[in-house]
Chain A
């Protein structure tokens, strides 16, 4: 189970200076999705919005792909895609739209109970402070064996992780994804991240 919380508006405000396409995911209905807060936030920025998609199960890649193709003219021509969903939904959209800037509008938090519906490549650990807007929509926590937040360790060889030569290094993937949108410099500009484990302690 998980809970999504809208990100602090200061963190995502700057994206709305441009043309924004919004995804809202209503998939897992047992999940708490902060619908009213998100709607209010989006309405207040109506001037910048090029379109809104309200869909079920963004994490379903083939479904999302069809949706994006059908609405490609609006979605791909927006400057930024903001995804209000759990971390998996944001990652799937980012993966499908590699040449666009895709950022999460929510933080995904942990909640006791049964996890997940289907097996996916993208994974979210519900860390409570989503980093996807700094990492090109690839989760540094689930795609890096050391959960590194400030760049790769020195261990990757031939793009593979030092822990498992069958698995791609998450940080090289992040770098290559950011290169596609000419944003690799944000890795230097980002503040130095340190995880807040208080956010995943149950009952908090």
Chain B
């Protein structure tokens, strides 16, 4: 039986699981594809990041195409940091002819945060206007209203950060994204189920599927770093202590246990999960097992 697509599953209200591939800095993509292939039966779609953290790397679209060739479904992440409106529209058309349907439209981190801080930050469009452009293209027009010769079909998505403060401002932006055509959302890493539940109550009215974000903790230090530096993330002390008390060789096990606990809690709250393993891809099957998925 043909595997159901990511968008079909969401439409039917099934719980979906996405994960993520960060293309390498260089051409050595094979190990990443192997890792993805290894878990492909348990993952509905793989996000491919677009020069994640503003670091120059192999491209997202090329990696998406390689995934498709191996029978995996990609989510093409596209940011506004590096391309102007001509290039963004053209890349969306290119994605479609290469077989990419899911596109995650992002503003993107600022250039100064990456390994080419002296680069020109483009930001000609932003996540909202990019979603609108994807919608326009699907309607057979470019953003200036010119007719297209052949129109694409997308399942556009966006991100939302449930831990952002002030949250109301984040919800305003989320509403704009929905208005512009976002049909699903993936969230920033969630560690606090209580406040995630509150967030889900607030966004219920939009009736758009939400995939809760899971980032595997690698150490107590990483958790503290995220609390201090990463927007919208706050790891509770309980998890930090669990990681701190674990012996080095036990850390992965504890991390898997934490992720599984979060996923179990999310199951009744949202429509899916998005796992960002950040190098710990090999633990994803363990997480899913422990979470009984």
Contact = CB atoms under 8 A, between A and B. Distances in A.
B129 A193 contact: yes
Contacts of B172: 151, 175, 184, 187-188
Given A156-B231, A157-B229, A163-B110, A150 B164 contact: no
A51 interface: no
Contacts of A193: 129
A171 B209 CA distance: 26
B232 interface: yes
B230 interface: yes
Closest 5 CB pairs of A and B: A151-B173, A150-B128, A146-B123, A154-B161, A157-B231
A18 B113 CA distance: 46
Interface of chain A: mostly helix, strand, loop or mixed: loop
Interface of B: 85, 107, 109-110, 112-113, 121, 123-129, 132, 143, 159-161, 164-166, 168-170, 172-173, 175-176, 179-180, 188, 229-232
A153 B178 CA distance: 16
B244 to A, nearest CB: 23
Interface of A: 145-157, 159, 162-163, 171-172, 175, 184, 187-188, 192-195, 197
A162 B124 contact: no
Given A146-B121, A148-B107, A162-B110, A154 B164 contact: yes
Contacts of A157: 229-232
Contact of B126 (A149, A159, A163): A149
Nearest to A153: B107
A159 to B, nearest CB: 8
A187 B112 CA distance: 27
Given A150-B128, A197-B124, 17 more contacts: A145-B121, A150-B126, A153-B107, A153-B126, A154-B160, A154-B164, A154-B231, A159-B165, A162-B110, A163-B110, A163-B112, A171-B169, A187-B169, A187-B172, A187-B176, A188-B175, A192-B180
A194 B127 CA distance: 11
Contact of A150 (B161, B165, B173): B173
A23 to B, nearest CB: 29
Nearest to A160: B231
B173 A152 contact: yes
Identify the interface centre among B107, B127, B229, B232: most chain A CB within 10 Å of its CB: B107
Given A154-B159, A192-B180, A194-B129, A145 B110 contact: yes
A183 to B, nearest CB: 12
Given A146-B107, A154-B231, A192 B132 contact: yes
Identify the interface centre among B113, B159, B166, B229: most chain A CB within 10 Å of its CB: B166
Contacts of B124: 195, 197
Contact of A162 (B109, B129, B132): B109
17 contacts: A149-B126, A150-B176, A151-B126, A151-B128, A154-B159, A154-B164, A159-B165, A162-B113, A163-B112, A163-B113, A171-B169, A175-B172, A184-B172, A188-B176, A192-B128, A192-B179, A197-B124
Nearest to A185: B172
Contacts of A195: 124
Contacts of A171: 169
A172 B168 CA distance: 11
A127 to B, nearest CB: 13
Contacts of A175: 166, 168-169, 172
A194 B128 CA distance: 10
B207 to A, nearest CB: 17
